[in-house]
Amino acid sequence: MSSKRLIFNFTESELIVFLEENGFPKYMYKQLIKWIYTKYELNPYKFSDISKVNREKLKEIFSFQLPKIVKISIDPEDETKKYLLKVGKHEIETVLIKEKDHYTQCISTQVGCPLRCKFCITGTMGLKRNLSAGEIVGQVMAVIKESDIKPRNLVYMGMGEPLLNYENVMRSIEIYTNRKGLDFAFRKITISTIGILDKLKGLIKKFPKVTIAISLNQIPEEREDLMPAEKKYPILKILKYFEENKYFRPTFEYVLIKNINSSEKHAHKLLRLLEKIRCKINLIPYNENKIFPYESVSEEELNKFINILYKGPNAITVRRSKGKNIQAACGQLAGEKDAE
Ligand code: SF4
């Protein structure tokens, strides 16, 4: 096994210390970050403003290996691109979504997911392992290198529950937002979570401008049937926290599944539940698939649901998932072998 250190794992401050400890000049971290994250050059022999001796040494100490692209699937309808990537012996997926005037990339944080939400294909895999910060950052770098497209938005909504891989996710945010490097805007990064309160508080404290999306998906009294993690991480605690901390405006995501969580009763309860919280509500009609028997709602049911929520104070959006034809839509990521 290689003892080289994966360069994408380092935050700026870690890199400064590590370079110094290994006898490199102090200023070199700036050159390194510039080559890797602004020129996307991963061959140290091409770092022309670094001495030949140091270039050799960099090659010896660091690995510049990105997750290997195994397969790319493109949805002919909306040009969504799904990448199957190899990380060690596992496979993960990341999705590049074309919007009107920019791109959004959906990234994974774990191989599989331990939370087993009943409507999610990733959940059927269980947890294989956490991704390192470098593997999280490597997903964006691999896509930039392949497509020459730098997404504007990053959404942590791929495989896994980000807050169960807290340390690595936090480090990846630090690396993504480094002004000298990839320079993503904090508010263009969305962390989607089922709601793990202590970790959520830590995330908000360290990165108050990051966007938070809570996967709500069901009223509290029925949520455990759909999301077993409700038992351990009750949503009422999350709602109370946001009720008391109004300076923060999260998004609540609600996947609408016919006959499960889409009745008028559900809409009225949801309205009451969220009316004291400053938030956005994002409704996502369920993506039907071959694995689960769930059905999506009709347009009529969707409109009824929205009209009830409109009585409340919060903004409501409907997200129609892209990449349906290539199993790249929400809750459909599972790695090639598991998805087919
Ligand atoms: S919906 Fe998210 S938290 Fe639930 S099983 Fe799927 S990946 Fe995990």
- Ligand 1 and 115: CB distance under 6 A: yes
Q: pTM of the predicted model, to two decimals?
A: 0.94
Of 34, 63, 92, the one marking the end of a domain is 63
Same domain, 235 and 320: yes
Same domain, 198 and 50: no
234 and 324 housed in the same domain? yes
Looking at residue 340, its pLDDT comes to 31
Q: Are residues 189 and 293 in the same domain?
A: yes
Same domain, 33 and 144: no
Q: How far is the centre of ligand 1, averaged over its atoms, from the C-alpha of 179 (Å)?
A: 31
Residue nearest to atom 3 of ligand 1 (CA): 161
Q: Which of 106, 113, 279, 330 is catalytic?
A: 330
Nearest Cα to 297, choosing from 277, 331, 252, 267? 267
- Do both 215 and 150 map to the same domain? yes
- Residue 108, classified by CB atoms within 10 Å of its CB into exposed (0-12), middle (13-18) or buried (19+), is buried
| Interacting residues of 8 by C-beta distance below 8 A, sequence separation 6+ | 36, 66, 133, 134, 135, 137, 138, 141, 175
pLDDT score for 330: 62
Tell me which residue range forms the domain holding 316: 68-339
Query: What CATH number has the domain bearing residue 189?
Result: 3.20.20.70
Domain count, the chain: 2
Nearest to 166 by CA among 204, 132, 123, 199: 199
Active site residue 224: no
Question: What is the SS3 assignment for 295?
Answer: coil
d(CA 132, CA 148): 24
Amino acid, single-letter form, for residue 255: V
Which residue of the set 93, 135, 161, 253 is catalytic? 93
Position 325 scores a pLDDT of 75
In the block, tokens 């009529």 appear at 300
Q: What is the pLDDT of residue 338?
A: 41
Block means of pLDDT (10 residues each) for the chain, length 340 residues? Answer: 89 97 94 98 97 97 98 94 96 95 97 95 94 98 98 97 98 98 98 97 97 97 97 98 94 96 97 96 92 93 96 93 72 56
Q: Which among 47, 63, 79 is the end of a domain?
A: 63
Q: What is the dihedral of CA 39, 41, 42, 48, to 10 degrees?
A: -110
- For the question of residue 93 being annotated catalytic, the response is yes
Pocket lining: 212 vs ligand 1, CB cutoff 6 Å = no
Q: Return the closest-CA partner of residue 220 out of 282, 186, 266.
A: 266
Best mutation site among 94, 107, 110, 117 for ligand 1 pocket (most ligand atoms within 8 Å of CB) = 117
- The rounded radius of gyration (Å) of the Cα atoms in the chain is 21
- Dihedral sign for Cα 147, 152, 154, 158, please: negative
Q: Are residues 187 and 51 in the same domain?
A: no
Domain harbouring 37, CATH code = 1.10.150.530
Residues 31 and 115 in one domain: no
140 and 54 within one domain: no
- What is the model's pLDDT at position 26? 86
Do 304 and 264 form a contact (C-beta atoms < 8 A)? yes
Can you list the alpha helix ranges (DSSP code H) found in the chain?
A: 12-21, 28-37, 52-61, 133-147, 166-176, 197-206, 220-226, 235-244, 264-274, 299-309, 336-339
Longest dimension (CA), the chain: 70
Query: For atom 5 of ligand 1, which residue has the closest CA?
Result: 123
Instruction: Indicate if ligand 1 lies below 6 Å from the C-beta of 120.
Output: yes
Verify that 55 and 94 share a domain, yes or no.
no
Whether residue 259 sits in one domain with residue 130: yes
Residues 135 and 162 in one domain: yes
